[in-house]
Amino acid sequence: MSEKTILACLLVLAISMTMSNADCFFQPLKPGMSDGKIIGCRDSSGELHEFGSRWRNADCYDCSCFKNGISCCSSFAIPVGYDEEKCVSIFNKDTCTYKVVEKDDHSKECPVHELVG
């Protein structure tokens, strides 16, 4: 690969990274106790997660437990660059992905030109 090609690839990567818009949130610590000691975080469902652990919740967010709380960011990208008059986006919670299909025929996928998240 030439130096110009590498630089062009790095520029494209830098631009796409600054354009990403991940959906994240932070939940202050709800302590999880064991033998009188705080060992982790309790999520909004009350489930205990040890400090330093990572998991994907039921809403397709990737979460981490820290000493000050839980940080979660979406694991999926939301399609926004498609023909909204002709097509509809459908979220699949099993795969944590969107599929954009024609409104009148869900077997036909629509082209997507932009994603956020």
Yes or no: say if 117 and 21 are a contact pair by the CB < 8 Å rule: yes
CATH topology classification for 78-116: N-terminal domain of TfIIb (2.20.25)
Quick: pLDDT tens for 7-49: 333 333 333 333 445 799 999 999 998 889 999 999 999 999 9
Q: What gap in Å lies between CA 26 and CA 65, rounded to an integer?
A: 10
pLDDT at 13 (0 to 100):
35
pLDDT at 97 (0 to 100):
96
Quick: pLDDT tens for 88-109: 999 999 999 999 999 999 999 9
pLDDT at 6 (0 to 100):
39
**Domain-by-domain residue ranges, the chain?**
21-74, 78-116
Six-digit token pair at 5?
A: 């090609």
Residue 60's pLDDT band (boundaries 50, 70, 90)?
very high
Yes or no: say if 103 and 88 are a contact pair by the CB < 8 Å rule: yes
pLDDT at 10 (0 to 100):
32
CATH topology classification for 21-74: Complement Module; domain 1 (2.10.70)
Q: What average pLDDT does this structure show over 60-69?
A: 97
Q: What gap in Å lies between CA 28 and CA 65, rounded to an integer?
A: 10
